[in-house]
Structure 1
């Protein structure tokens, strides 16, 4: 059976009629060395690296928000999630021009005739279709998410997560299928590795392409420069949303780190959350053996702490603020609970995916985790969570519950 399958996969498909060998379908239609195996492999290596970094950092964010039992995420260093999510968005944006450049280097293969010389080539091309489709889906929907524009009916988070697995799986299959070509493309010219697996005739053709590339050195350098400038421009004009020193030149970033109420951006406004009228009967409830029902004056009677902590949004922007409030651990202890109790913080917001969040033991017991009532030297404004909000180190912004009203054991 195996030999029969091998014969099927290796079977040559019929050649094209002469009538279709016109224009881009001519055998010699694309002779530029910029479409060479070497150029494609090197661009592909950078694109693959961007995909892998983007996938791993995105997976990290997903696990933090929906942690399985085995997953552990520390409360320190406080900047770790800021770095991983900033990398996620930055590499995703950089991958857009890289993907376009990669497609440009290989698009002549669309005009090969026959479209695939064998059944195995058909399968290979179908796998590439999955790779390009999943990759484009990830990059486009991720870009729209950064802009908070959702012109679709599906749930972005789940779709982005599962499409990420499809994309990275397709990358792995593609690398495995194209390993010989990739090794040759990345090898130094003139070394045995640069012609491994090629017949003498193919090696001669490869040398001719390399010679042509040397003859067109200006075009080659211009290609590399254009690709680098494209990636650099996209990165530098957006990365300032998470890397504050570069914010003045991040002209394409959807948010600036210090623009917003109390010098901090806002993802969800009080009006959007339906929390517009917090009256004098407000209480913060800490549910435990010694149940607490605290007014703002009661909270003010506890020891006040001030911490410099970042808000890091899953959309890539982050900014640090100086927060003032009561340590969560102090309130848990006052309510008769251990300081490292895993708790759920619920919001006055009546609906929405993130009206509550779970605070794991490392964060609950951290001395830097606060139920904050002030930001940057002033009481919280409604858009930042007045009267009380959670602020904990090294967590996504969507898990820093605003308008907190109840803390209970998970």
Structure 2
């Protein structure tokens, strides 16, 4: 047993060249010298372990923030049996998703600077010194791949440009996030001693490589880039900065009835059909209501935001029938959920489930009017769901059927 442990320790720390057959091992020095002579130089007075460490600390902050807020959004859209998302506070999802998108965009310049600061190490020779070094390098490649994939797919989703992604973005982005955060934790564990040593040195230490002025210049440039990209994109959530919203693909106040839309009626394949419209409500006492009968029911007006997963949000004044009134109309038992089905043709979110907490909330409406006027067709005419503290993708438009669920 002791002998076997010793062999494993030897393999873990051994130079991989020493494990090769002798004829090949004898040729390694000449091949190594040839490769080393042809490798480019990556020297720069701007690079240093200290700069790399500070950039790593920044990523160790932004990545967990993105991961936590993104996980919240994923659980709301694909809730497991143990997950329960409240209907209050009203602005909670608007804040969490706004932070998620803003932090993700701010991560881009930090990630690029971090890769710039360390990419010469990818060309070190020999590429592998022992098994432990091999596993360390593999974890770095996994982290780099997952991080770049997360940032790229996230930006494509914000822009709603899906042709480059031949997969369901939500699920892929979710699992990539787990891979990225796992690789990040491994990387932190491996690099923590190096980071502590680099930050413990005095800034003027000649062994640090880059001059303190250079280090401050690099970090200052990255910080300025983060500030600029945040300033020109966060306006889609933080309305006081909406006029500076140059990078975000949405101006929330531009669109029918001063509210933007993600999917139009043309895209959904929905046309206006007032006389033929019927709302089917399946429950203990099923009902079928015409548009006139819906309009005759008690109405309420509430101010609620539409908060989209792409990061934009805007508040509208919605008027309609409280969901809990419709549930009572068909004799739904207390604690019921509601499956909401749309008249749109296909789509991954053609139907959505409204949680019990939102069904009970008096602010959850089957809305017929927006900002004092009849719903525009692009906003879901003749009626749509609007509920507090839910992603816009679950606020189903063009509703034609409600199904009471236990």
Q: Above 0.5 in TM-score?
A: yes
CA contact (8 A) 2:153 2:165 kept: no
Task: Quote the offset at 1:395 in angstroms.
Answer: 0.5
Find the partner of 2:165 among 144, 152, 170: 152
> Superposition RMSD on alpha carbons, in Å?
1.9
Superposed, which structure 2 residues align to 1:8-407 within 5 Å? 8-14=11-17, 17-22=32-37, 30=43, 32=45, 34-150=46-162, 151-185=164-198, 187-190=199-202, 207-210=205-208, 213=210, 216-338=211-333, 340-407=335-402
CA contact (8 A) 2:327 2:404 kept: no
CA displacement 1:253-302 (0-9 Å, x = unmatched): 10012011111110111111111132312111222233222222212222
CA distance in 2 between counterparts of 1:232 and 1:383 reads 35
CA distance in 2 between counterparts of 1:36 and 1:351 reads 53
CA displacement 1:86-134 (0-9 Å, x = unmatched): 1111111111111100011112212322123222212211111011001
CA distance in 2 between counterparts of 1:130 and 1:253 reads 29
Task: Quote the offset at 1:24 in angstroms.
Answer: 5.5
CA contact (8 A) 2:32 2:126 kept: no
Give the structure 1 partner of residue 22 of structure 2: none
- Report the secondary structure of 2:53's partner residue: helix
CA displacement 1:130-166 (0-9 Å, x = unmatched): 1100110111011111111122322212211111111
- Report the secondary structure of 2:270's partner residue: coil
CA distance in 2 between counterparts of 1:103 and 1:120 reads 22
- Report the secondary structure of 2:160's partner residue: coil
CA distance in 2 between counterparts of 1:126 and 1:274 reads 47
Give the structure 2 partner of residue 200 of structure 1: none
CA contact (8 A) 1:329 1:366 kept: yes
Task: Quote the offset at 1:23 in angstroms.
Answer: 6.9
CA distance in 2 between counterparts of 1:115 and 1:365 reads 61
Aligned CA distance change for structure 1 residues 121 and 335 (closer, same or farther; 3 Å): same
Could you tell me the TM-score, scaled by structure 2's length? Answer: 0.91
Task: Quote the offset at 1:25 in angstroms.
Answer: 5.7
CA contact (8 A) 1:329 1:339 kept: no
Task: Quote the offset at 1:360 in angstroms.
Answer: 0.9
Could you tell me the TM-score, scaled by structure 1's length? Answer: 0.90
Q: Structure 1 unaligned runs (5+)?
A: 195-205
Q: Structure 2 unaligned runs (5+)?
A: 18-28
CA contact (8 A) 1:339 1:364 kept: no
CA contact (8 A) 1:311 1:318 kept: yes
CA distance in 2 between counterparts of 1:209 and 1:91 reads 34
Aligned CA distance change for structure 1 residues 118 and 31 (closer, same or farther; 3 Å): farther
